[in-house]
Chain A
Amino acid sequence: MVEARKDVRLQKHLLSGETLVDDFALGLYDVYLTDSRIIFFKNFPGGFQAVPLTDVEDVDYLRLFRLNELIKVLALFIGFAYLLLNQQAAASVFNGVYSCILPQLGFLVSADRAAHIFLLIVLTYLLMHLNAFLIPFFGVLEVHRKNHQPLRLPTLLSGEPTALIKRLDEHIMGLSELTCEVDGDEDDSDSYCLRLSEFKRKLSESLTHMDDKAVVSVSTSSVDHLPTVSALLDILTRKRGLGGVYISFTQPYQYLAEAVKQANVPLDDLFFIDCISKMAAKIPSEPKENVVFVENPSSLEEVNVHLNRMLDRVSSPKKFIFLDSLTSLLIYNDEKSVNEFSHFIINKARLSNIFTVLLFQKKEGAGKLHEKVEHICDKKIVL
């Protein structure tokens, strides 16, 4: 049924260039997941809502049992039943209330009419409270949004749509979540294991078909930092065939190069700008062909000069810039400077058809900067 309606309804609402990725039915709604939005079509009584992916934080499926609403419904039902069976009583109640409110009118409606009016009022109340009780009880999809109030969509589904909610979550996040398996005893909390191949597969799906001058922001935790970097570099160099420049404000070149080599990332067309080692007075005594060392992470113009020179040395016609990370950069520069620098790099890359990856560390106090930067990114990936 979703398939049959898809062509007509969806085609009308799809934006130019927007691609459908997934679709499913969720109770009263048909849900369409595109590369930029989530579209909800309400089957009865009809309606359409679309939420940009960049505005979505999270989705929840709620089933709320409201005791107060149930009590009101039961009380109203009992009252309604009594009045229905005893219309005289309905008439006298209505006339009594009516004369209190409008005594100057001084006339009363007939008993039948009074009863009917009163029953209608009680029935209306009953139905309203029944609605307020039933709808949350049979499930509400709550879409939490960054810049707006949450969107609440009553689905009236009888079961728990766990798999469908997971599909929605995955679409919003862009990747499956990392899973963590703890080996050994319960007390062995130091063990940490990643399903890297699954993680890389999803990351690859997200990045492989993007435009050459796309800008992607990636948020990762500090624990997942190196696996994320290695996976990203592998995709950029091997899968997309790009050569590029890696600007590090986080880890020294020596440490990074080792990690990247272990991940078998090809290094022949990869250049590094290390903004950390010189501060620690720990640069290699022998100059290396593919790395330059910047005075300190505050020397952003110097980074720019080296970036220009390094990009000229990349042999591949298709290039990338990898900024690791804007969160680390905040340690050495104020937010305004980092904002200006990142916008500068993004615009420069776009004008030169260069793919850009901006790395953030989750929950490390880069919230406002992240918002200012990600609104000009083409894709946001959160790990």
Chain B
Amino acid sequence: MSDKIKTGISNLDTILGGGIPQGHCVLLSGSCGTGKTVLSQQFLFNNAYKQTKGIYFSLTEPKEKMIQNLSGFSFFDRQLVDMGMVSVLDLNTNARLKGVGLNNPLGLVDVIVRSIEENNAKLIALDSLTALCQSLQSDDKIREFIFELNLQMTYLGCTSLLISEIPPFTTQYSVFGVEEFIADGVILLSEIERKGDLIRALQVIKMRGTVHSRNKHVLEIMDDGINLVPMFKSQVE
């Protein structure tokens, strides 16, 4: 089994059997408000404290707004961003600056790879893969993009979290139905309605190279970030 990157998130490493295997492309799927962005950011910051550089590629939120939203969490440290331990890059802008169209899968992979090499990063989070795939438009290009990205990440020894936005209360892991088959792992963030309350839940659907739990856990977002606890089964019935 390969080396594992610890997420540093309460209980998640236990669920993952020690962490995310190094070099894996992991699909982080969930509908809005389920905690995908917080989880991916916490993953990057927790590892930044351990001197592992990461890049957060955003297609949905401007950098300053993102930092403002993060400032309430205890895992966030502005200094880590300023020092480049966690880089926040707008993929849209970066691609345009390099003359790469958003419908060019190999070009996009190249932009990402160059950013990784320039920053000497070992972790990336892409928020969101769905937005990127929408610009790629065809299943073939999506497949090509994810496959090539996976290949390059493995070559670079870089672990990636690819955020996939899905509709609420569905059993799918991606909008295009392609991404989950190529990814090395799938973590599903969902919502459960219970007596009128909306409860966030996390479930590891697949993770190659590690023995992981497939149980659903309740996810609470607090000032220290993501907290995971087992779900009480009797309340689900």
A residues in contact (CB < 8 Å) with B: 295-296, 298-302, 304-305, 308-309, 333-334, 336-337, 339-341, 344
Contact status A333-B227, CB under 8 Å:
no
Contact status B234-A305, CB under 8 Å:
no
Given contacts A301-B199, A301-B220, A305-B222, contact A340 B194 (CB under 8 A): no
**How long is the Cα–Cα vector from A333 to B195 in the complex, in angstroms?**
10
**How long is the Cα–Cα vector from A296 to B195 in the complex, in angstroms?**
11
Contact status A299-B197, CB under 8 Å:
yes
Question: Min CB distance, B63 to chain A, in Å?
Answer: 29
Given contacts A337-B235, A339-B234, A340-B234, contact A298 B197 (CB under 8 A): yes
Q: 1/0 per position for B205-237, CB-CB distance to A under 8 A? A: 000000000000010101010010111111101
Contact status B222-A300, CB under 8 Å:
no
Q: Which residues of A contact B230 (CB under 8 A)?
A: 301, 304, 344
**How long is the Cα–Cα vector from A352 to B199 in the complex, in angstroms?**
27
Question: Given contacts A301-B218, A309-B224, A309-B227, could you give 12 more A-B pairs where the C-beta distance is less than 8 Å?
Answer: A295-B197, A298-B194, A298-B195, A299-B199, A305-B229, A308-B227, A308-B229, A309-B222, A333-B235, A336-B234, A337-B235, A344-B230
Question: Min CB distance, B199 to chain A, in Å?
Answer: 7
Q: Which residue of B lies closest to A334 (CB)?
A: B234
Q: Which residues of A contact B222 (CB under 8 A)?
A: 305, 309
**How long is the Cα–Cα vector from A336 to B197 in the complex, in angstroms?**
19
B residues in contact (CB < 8 Å) with A: 10, 194-195, 197, 199, 218, 220, 222, 224, 227, 229-235, 237
**How long is the Cα–Cα vector from A340 to B220 in the complex, in angstroms?**
20
Contact status A304-B234, CB under 8 Å:
no
Q: Which residues of A contact B229 (CB under 8 A)?
A: 301, 304-305, 308
Q: Which residue of B lies closest to A302 (CB)?
A: B220
Pick the contact of B232: A295, A300, A305, A308 (CB < 8 A): A300
Q: Which residues of A contact B195 (CB under 8 A)?
A: 298
Question: Min CB distance, B192 to chain A, in Å?
Answer: 10
Q: Which residue of B lies closest to A335 (CB)?
A: B234
Q: Which residues of A contact B235 (CB under 8 A)?
A: 298, 300, 333, 337, 340
Q: Which residue of B lies closest to A299 (CB)?
A: B197
Question: Min CB distance, B111 to chain A, in Å?
Answer: 39
**How long is the Cα–Cα vector from A153 to B168 in the complex, in angstroms?**
67
Question: Min CB distance, B74 to chain A, in Å?
Answer: 11
Q: Which residues of B contact A304 (CB under 8 A)?
A: 229-230
Q: Which residues of B contact A333 (CB under 8 A)?
A: 235
Q: Which residue of A lies closest to B224 (CB)?
A: A309
Contact status A341-B232, CB under 8 Å:
yes
Contact status B233-A340, CB under 8 Å:
yes
Q: Which residues of A contact B234 (CB under 8 A)?
A: 334, 336-337, 339-340
Question: Min CB distance, B134 to chain A, in Å?
Answer: 34
Q: Which residues of A contact B10 (CB under 8 A)?
A: 308
**How long is the Cα–Cα vector from A298 to B232 in the complex, in angstroms?**
11
Q: Which residues of B contact A295 (CB under 8 A)?
A: 197
Question: Min CB distance, A308 to chain B, in Å?
Answer: 7
Given contacts A305-B220, A305-B222, A305-B227, contact A296 B232 (CB under 8 A): no
29 pairs, A vs B, C-beta closer than 8 Å: A298-B194, A299-B199, A300-B232, A301-B199, A301-B218, A301-B220, A301-B229, A301-B230, A301-B231, A302-B218, A302-B220, A304-B230, A305-B218, A305-B222, A305-B227, A305-B229, A308-B10, A308-B227, A309-B222, A334-B234, A336-B234, A336-B237, A337-B232, A339-B234, A340-B232, A340-B235, A341-B232, A344-B230, A344-B232
**How long is the Cα–Cα vector from A302 to B198 in the complex, in angstroms?**
12
Question: Min CB distance, A303 to chain B, in Å?
Answer: 9
Question: Min CB distance, B209 to chain A, in Å?
Answer: 29
Q: Which residues of A contact B197 (CB under 8 A)?
A: 295-296, 298-299
**How long is the Cα–Cα vector from A152 to B85 in the complex, in angstroms?**
78
Q: Which residues of A contact B237 (CB under 8 A)?
A: 336
**How long is the Cα–Cα vector from A298 to B194 in the complex, in angstroms?**
9
Q: Which residues of A contact B232 (CB under 8 A)?
A: 300-301, 337, 340-341, 344
**How long is the Cα–Cα vector from A339 to B218 in the complex, in angstroms?**
19
Question: Min CB distance, A316 to chain B, in Å?
Answer: 22
Q: Which residue of B lies closest to A295 (CB)?
A: B197
**How long is the Cα–Cα vector from A305 to B197 in the complex, in angstroms?**
17
In this complex, the member of A305, A308, A309, A341 whose beta carbon has the largest number of chain B beta carbons within 10 angstroms is: A305
**How long is the Cα–Cα vector from A159 to B231 in the complex, in angstroms?**
60
**How long is the Cα–Cα vector from A296 to B230 in the complex, in angstroms?**
18
Q: Which 7 A-B pairs have the closest CB atoms?
A: A301-B218, A336-B234, A337-B234, A304-B229, A305-B227, A340-B234, A305-B220
Q: Which residues of A contact B220 (CB under 8 A)?
A: 301-302, 305
Question: Min CB distance, B142 to chain A, in Å?
Answer: 36
Q: Which residue of B lies closest to A298 (CB)?
A: B195
**How long is the Cα–Cα vector from A113 to B227 in the complex, in angstroms?**
93
Q: Which residues of A contact B199 (CB under 8 A)?
A: 299, 301
**How long is the Cα–Cα vector from A296 to B199 in the complex, in angstroms?**
12
Q: Which residue of B lies closest to A292 (CB)?
A: B222
Q: Which residue of A lies closest to B233 (CB)?
A: A340
**How long is the Cα–Cα vector from A341 to B224 in the complex, in angstroms?**
24
Question: Min CB distance, A173 to chain B, in Å?
Answer: 32
In this complex, the member of B194, B227, B229 whose beta carbon has the largest number of chain A beta carbons within 10 angstroms is: B229
**How long is the Cα–Cα vector from A308 to B229 in the complex, in angstroms?**
10
Question: Min CB distance, B61 to chain A, in Å?
Answer: 27
Question: Min CB distance, B203 to chain A, in Å?
Answer: 14
**How long is the Cα–Cα vector from A295 to B222 in the complex, in angstroms?**
13
Q: Which residues of B contact A299 (CB under 8 A)?
A: 197, 199
Question: Min CB distance, B202 to chain A, in Å?
Answer: 12
